[in-house]
Structure 1
Amino acid sequence: MQIISSETAIQVAFLALTLAIFFVIYKLPKKAFSKLRSNNRAASQSSHHFLNGAQLLSRARSARNRATAESFAKDAIAEADRAISLLPRDAAALILRALALDVLGRRTSALRSIDAAISPPAVKSLLGREKGDALVKRAELQLAVNRRRRVDSALSDLVEAMSLTRDNPKGFCLLGQCYEIKGMKDEACEAFREALKIEPESTQARQCLARLNSST
């Protein structure tokens, strides 16, 4: 009788283990699918808000009236914030927010937003060219906020940016400005020449190069 009870207990335990394994195997894919579906939904909604924000930013930049431009820029920030709330690690929405803040003249806040976009973990969502463009924008904001104090940081960003993308005339012009501020005239001239190779019509690069050549 005791032997039968032991065998029965073993069978019951084995059955319970089998059922537990089956339950885990059955539940895990459902959870994974549910999480994937939730992530896809969040990504879709975030993309929707980002596209709305990008259109609003374009309208803000092209608006002739200052009040209208500010209104569109504020709406763009609101859409960017909605996108960020859904995907906090998406650098694109953070950059969109920075660009809209720049339209409003809130450069310090714009700089913080683009800092977040170029820092881990958000920076992982950027391709090489995208990161290069973001670094150029951060350098531009740094120089606008405090040219003398932030020139070294801006220069570092621009050197890295130009290693990622060689066809950004604005980046080379900013690089030339940084070298000029630091008294590095040869390097500044070379940067402005690179800008002119990409965009021969660049008035800024041509004027800066002429000024530097006349001062030597």
Structure 2
Amino acid sequence: MPTDLIFQACFLLITVFMFLWMQKIPQNLFTKFRYRNRSSYDAKRHFIIGAQLLSKSNATKDRTTSIKLAKSASDEADKAISLDPTDAASHILKALALEAQGFSTSAVESLDVALSPLTAKSLSSTERGDALFKRAEIKMKGSKRGRVDSAVSDLVESVKIKGDNAKAYRLLGECYEKKDMKEEAVEAYERAVRIDPENVQARDALKLLLASTQ
């Protein structure tokens, strides 16, 4: 009896597999899996090329060449995004490349996508903190009050995630100064200096702010 049951089970499995094979389901699954792996590989390849181009853009002193390289880096980021739109790293690369070309608004929009729920899950906590800081830094290049408020929100979240970022605390102090929140600005500058005593911008800003409040 046990032998008959085993035989029947094997026969049933073979029958089911043959049916699936006739419907080309295993082949289609394999093709999709292989395509997904290939797309992921190609996306990473374009990301690496873009990162190398952006590094060269930042290193060159010739503005025209720098912009040209940054544009090429942005194009490579777009190719990576088209293959794997849920990878936040490619969106961040595009944001940095756009910033290098002077397109601050577009750079912020790319960071918005990188930090959206769908893509942010591909970032580590540290990477997310860095991305929030970068978005705030770009926002602060504008002078609108709404941008300052938004930058404060990003920076507060960033330092919660990564509390040893002196640059983030320094920029947070600058934001608070713009909002005339002097006590909060002093505290932020002091944190920046404690983390990095060589942060000249934070140290000088703290001295000036303390002198103005005496």
Cα distance, 1:123 vs. partner? 1.1
Q: Which amino acid aligns with 1:194?
A: R
Residues 142-186 of structure 1: per-residue CA shift (max 9 Å, x gap) = 121334221111111111111111121211111111111111112
Q: Is 1:54 paired with 2:42?
A: no
What is the alpha-carbon distance in structure 2 between the residues aligned to residue 150 and residue 137 of structure 1? 13
The alignment partner of 1:210 has SS state of helix
Cα distance, 1:121 vs. partner? 0.6
> Which of residues 164, 172, 195 in structure 1 aligns to 2:169?
172
Using a 3 Å threshold, how does the CA distance of structure 1 residues 23 and 145 change in structure 2: closer, same or farther?
farther
**Deviating more after overlay: 24-33 vs 49-58:** 24-33
Give the 5 Å matches for 1:54-73: 54-73=51-70
**Structure 2: 5+ residue stretches without partners:** 1-10
Q: Is 1:95 paired with 2:92?
A: yes
Q: Which amino acid aligns with 1:80?
A: A
The alignment partner of 2:142 has SS state of helix
**Structure 1: 5+ residue stretches without partners:** 1-14
Q: What does residue 78 of structure 2 align with?
A: 81
Using a 3 Å threshold, how does the CA distance of structure 1 residues 161 and 17 change in structure 2: closer, same or farther?
closer
**Does the CA contact (< 8 Å) of 1:108 and 1:145 recur in 2?**
no
Q: What does residue 201 of structure 1 align with?
A: 198
> Which of residues 138, 149, 152 in structure 2 aligns to 1:152?
149
Give the 5 Å matches for 1:1-20: 19=15
What is the alpha-carbon distance in structure 2 between the residues aligned to residue 40 and residue 17 of structure 1? 29
Cα distance, 1:209 vs. partner? 0.5
What is the alpha-carbon distance in structure 2 between the residues aligned to residue 123 and residue 168 of structure 1? 20
Q: Which amino acid aligns with 2:146?
A: R
Cα distance, 1:23 vs. partner? 2.1
Q: What does residue 189 of structure 1 align with?
A: 186
Q: Which amino acid aligns with 1:178?
A: C
Q: Is 1:212 paired with 2:212?
A: no
> Which of residues 20, 26, 31 in structure 2 aligns to 1:24?
20
**Deviating more after overlay: 140-149 vs 53-62:** 140-149
TM-score, structure 1 length as denominator? Answer: 0.86
Between Structure 1 and Structure 2, how many residues are aligned? Answer: 202
Cα distance, 1:20 vs. partner? 5.0
Give % identity: 49
CA root-mean-square deviation? 2.1
Q: Which amino acid aligns with 1:125?
A: S
Q: Is 1:124 paired with 2:121?
A: yes
Give the 5 Å matches for 1:105-124: 105-124=102-121
TM-score, structure 2 length as denominator? Answer: 0.87
What is the alpha-carbon distance in structure 1 between the residues aligned to residue 114 and residue 42 of structure 2? 19
